[in-house]
Amino acid sequence: MKNEITTPLVEFTFLGQDGFIIQTKDNGFLIDPYLSNYVVDSGIGSAEVFSREFPAPVCIDELKNIDTVFITHDHADHCDPETLLPLYQKNPKIKFICPKPVENHLASLGISPQQIIIPKVAKVEHLPGLEYYAVPAAHYQFDLDASGEDYSYFGFVIKAGEVWIYHAGDTILYDGMVEQILRYTSKIDVACLPVNGRDGWRERMDMIGNLDPSESLELALRLKTDVLLPMHNDLFKYNHVSPAVLADHLDRKAPRQKYHWLQPGEKYYYVK
């Protein structure tokens, strides 16, 4: 029997927290890169609570030929000026895809309005080699603007070649969420979902929570996900749950569900 070598369709490099570099044969894009210690250095959060647990796994100088950055919301560990401005300077044609509140942050950095795209929820947009649409994220609220049309928090469904990717951003479950995500596809190939959960103790430290491991697994199953990539569980010491919690839920509820815990800087090659 002849063995055939299969070429990976999509390469994921995990940056920690919610951050990814995603590379296809046609282009490369980022989602929520946080490569500094801006939350602490800017005074937004205390060093005790919000210092990085690991150094940035890549140097910004290495991030060349990046076409697109998806930013899910304007919290500093997702919309980081000390990452985004140097990235823009090294990739002056880069496009930033984000919700409306992020636009002001980008403009304050001197990023041209022509480089910023604010998609409408559920509207399919096109870039070279990519199709994508935004879905609402509840962190914990939707935070609609006065018009009732612009959301403050996004997740993104991205079709990269033949591969359907869902990156949830920061969110909890809400009614109609699955229908929003599967509006234009019957299933998700790779789901990047937060698993750090939430509780009153962390909320008192100004940590807005996310899906817990049980909820992430429930969502992955309802999306008919091929591979689950857990995220948002490693950057801050106090905002972490044991990976064993997710492993236990998987063992009891979905032992055949594929998943992979990525370490910062680790690559994952997805073949459909």
Percent of the chain at pLDDT exceeding 70 = 95
Helix, strand, coil share (%) of the chain residues, nearest 5 = 25, 25, 55
Task: Give bridge partners of residue 70 from the DSSP assignment.
Answer: 31, 97
Kindly report, residue by residue over 246-267, the tens digit of the pLDDT: 999 999 999 999 999 999 999 9
Kindly report, residue by residue over 84-97, the tens digit of the pLDDT: 999 999 999 999 99
Within a domain: residue 114?
A: yes
Q: What is the pTM of this model?
A: 0.94
- What pLDDT was estimated at residue 8? 66
Within a domain: residue 3?
A: no
- What pLDDT was estimated at residue 264? 97
| Count of domains forming the chain | 1
Beta carbons of 139 and 148 less than 8 angstroms apart: no
No. of H helices and E strands in the chain?
A: 8, 14
Of 180, 216, 181, nearest in space to 198 by CA: 216
The range of the structural domain enclosing residue 208 comes to: 10-258
Within a domain: residue 133?
A: yes
Within a domain: residue 147?
A: yes
Within a domain: residue 109?
A: yes
Within a domain: residue 165?
A: yes
Within a domain: residue 28?
A: yes
Within a domain: residue 86?
A: yes
**Does residue 2 have a pLDDT over 80?**
no
CATH value at residue 66: 3.60.15.10
d(CA 90, CA 255): 44
**Would you say the C-alpha torsion 176, 249, 14, 79 has a positive or negative sign?**
positive
SS3 category, 157: strand
